[in-house]
Structure 1
């Protein structure tokens, strides 16, 4: 009787949401992925010039006593052709998790972002834009490993005196090899007024059940990051960070970055970032990526944007300008630009 009565008064909600983002992209050089040589300049329509196009559902149910059941199912799509995109290639390949949320923290189980990736997001001056940002360096090094973590469990603590901790363990596993595809990550964040300090680590093995996803999500690598940002009262935010991608049998890349974002008006944001990458195994491999962007908010949901970028690669470094259509670039200098529109619903 008591259980029936409690269920009758439980409050629940389900929300449909999404992002649709399309742009035009120009780059002065393009890498031929078969030969690694310069294939000339390009001018193309590009899905997700600034933010990954996606749609999803999120929901919550009040369980009483300050506890809620929560879930999220999110699919990446391409507005260029309507296929899956901006994900691990599966139907709900961005997020698919269920969990509990309370004053003691949040516990989630399923496909979700790692604390390592979220820590990097916290201090990127360009908000992890799909063009010329820390996200390009991330995906260039390890694809979507650490972004979309299959078979994972995470716990995020409440913020106590400005400090918040998060941890993740992703079960990999294969017959006879428990360590195959095993991934773990942890982060610590401090927030006080306009100041944010963030640090995180990631460690993942190759193989396991997640290795069957269409987009590689079990690249074997060790990741570390430290970053800081400060938001002034005049709407100026400055950021700086360090990230390490130590990829097995490949690069040992350190990425040093810094930049700023400034809201000239509530409707106009200008931002810029610089990202220097160096291979710790071979100093001749290094690159510098510089980019800037302007966002004009037509409304709370619709944004026009423009972005410009420059990258210079030395040795075997192949840093690109854009997640879609220009993730890898040839040796030497390449310039590019992107203009587009984003709508959120």
Structure 2
């Protein structure tokens, strides 16, 4: 009898332990995610980096015809009372050779942060996207495609600066009556110069029905204690105003952006366009971006692009894109973040076709 009771208590304890473990497991979640994007790129002209002249046509395979290939880990834990702990590690990769690519060039150089989130907002610490970049993304009609979009202008002007903010702390408020704000401060610093690489960014967004209006700023000092393969610490300023309106299957977007690099240029970019879900499986989009150098108005460019995405499934997409850019003066706007970031004087046309799969 005693042995039976002991056995019963052991079984009860084992069952209780399994229930506790199961409950704890249900409160925590870790997800492996990624995206693979490969395409073919054609341009009618190519910049010779040595002479600045036209090196001729190109036809090549590129990684990231529409977005960068990536993999990462995302985790959440329910701490109770509406409080959650989160983390994210994300790395850019090249499917062409398997190397680290994109972002700041480091392992997990896209995002590497930890956060606490509740009904009062989210506090995040680590390498993260700036509020300025997220505002640009929200008002770009082609969702910052790596080919023929506002993303090409951004990287052309600032490379990784204003996109990836290292050693930073941010706060994002909850959405109240359609309003939401974000603030970010990046400490930067190096021995003897606490201001080196310091960055700050802020944004405010209003959404009501199909309408979205946003504004954002970015400011950074040059230099830091931890330089990255892709520079993310130019002495630069960014300002933007954007808007979007969705009605039915069509979304129209427009934006104004100013990029300024100390001692170099002061460019205004005016952009706009739309996307149209012709069917749930087919999305067409297009946009136009006019860039003008405020210091030398003879330097200007016009970039126009059209794209089509066909969704074979929720995870796999075929895409085709065409674009044209016309550069005047010293302006060197390119067509593609990968393979054609900078362009030559005069008109250049290009196209990409590719496939994208997420997991």
Give the 3-state SS of the residue equivalent to 2:122 in structure 1: strand
Q: Aligned equivalents of 1:306 and 1:260: distance in 2?
A: 16
| Matched residue, 1:217 | 232
| Matched residue, 2:177 | 161
Q: Is 1:244 aligned to residue 258 of structure 2?
A: yes
Cα shift readout 1:191-228 (whole Å, capped 9, x = no counterpart):
00110001000000000124x10111001111100000
Give the 3-state SS of the residue equivalent to 1:287 in structure 2: strand
- Tell me how far 1:176 sits from its aligned partner: 1.2
Q: Aligned equivalents of 1:66 and 1:6: distance in 2?
A: 20
State the TM-score, normalizing by the size of structure 1: 0.97
| Matched residue, 1:61 | 77
| Matched residue, 2:134 | 118
| Matched residue, 2:56 | 40
Q: Aligned equivalents of 1:72 and 1:317: distance in 2?
A: 37
Q: Aligned equivalents of 1:209 and 1:117: distance in 2?
A: 23
| Matched residue, 2:163 | 147
Q: Aligned equivalents of 1:105 and 1:34: distance in 2?
A: 49
Q: Aligned equivalents of 2:193 and 2:107: distance in 1?
A: 28
User: Does the C-alpha gap of structure 1 residues 282 and 61 become closer, same or farther in structure 2, counting only changes over 3 Å?
Assistant: same
| Matched residue, 1:50 | 66
Q: Aligned equivalents of 1:170 and 1:161: distance in 2?
A: 29
Cα shift readout 1:25-59 (whole Å, capped 9, x = no counterpart):
00000001122111101000010000110000000
Q: Aligned equivalents of 1:79 and 1:278: distance in 2?
A: 35
Equivalent pairs counted in the alignment come to 339
Q: Is 1:278 aligned to residue 278 of structure 2?
A: no
Q: Aligned equivalents of 1:150 and 1:218: distance in 2?
A: 9
- Tell me how far 1:9 sits from its aligned partner: 4.5
Q: Aligned equivalents of 1:7 and 1:288: distance in 2?
A: 59
Give the 3-state SS of the residue equivalent to 1:90 in structure 2: coil
Q: Equivalent residues in 2 for 1:6-85 (5 A)?
A: 9-10=23-24, 11-85=27-101
Give the 3-state SS of the residue equivalent to 2:245 in structure 1: strand
Gaps of 5+ in 1: none
- Root-mean-square deviation (CA, aligned residues, Å) is 1.2
Cα shift readout 1:143-198 (whole Å, capped 9, x = no counterpart):
00111111011100000000000000001101111111000000000000110001
| Matched residue, 1:335 | 349
Q: Is 1:128 aligned to residue 178 of structure 2?
A: no
Q: Aligned equivalents of 2:69 and 2:274: distance in 1?
A: 25
Cα shift readout 1:77-122 (whole Å, capped 9, x = no counterpart):
0111111112101000000000101111111000000000000000
State the TM-score, normalizing by the size of structure 2: 0.93
Gaps of 5+ in 2: 1-18
Q: Aligned equivalents of 1:298 and 1:200: distance in 2?
A: 36
Q: Aligned equivalents of 2:48 and 2:31: distance in 1?
A: 42
Name which of 335, 341, 347 aligns with 1:321: 335
Q: Aligned equivalents of 1:179 and 1:7: distance in 2?
A: 47
- Tell me how far 1:8 sits from its aligned partner: 8.4
Q: Equivalent residues in 2 for 1:246-261 (5 A)?
A: 246-261=260-275
Q: Aligned equivalents of 1:272 and 1:115: distance in 2?
A: 24
Q: Is 1:226 aligned to residue 241 of structure 2?
A: yes
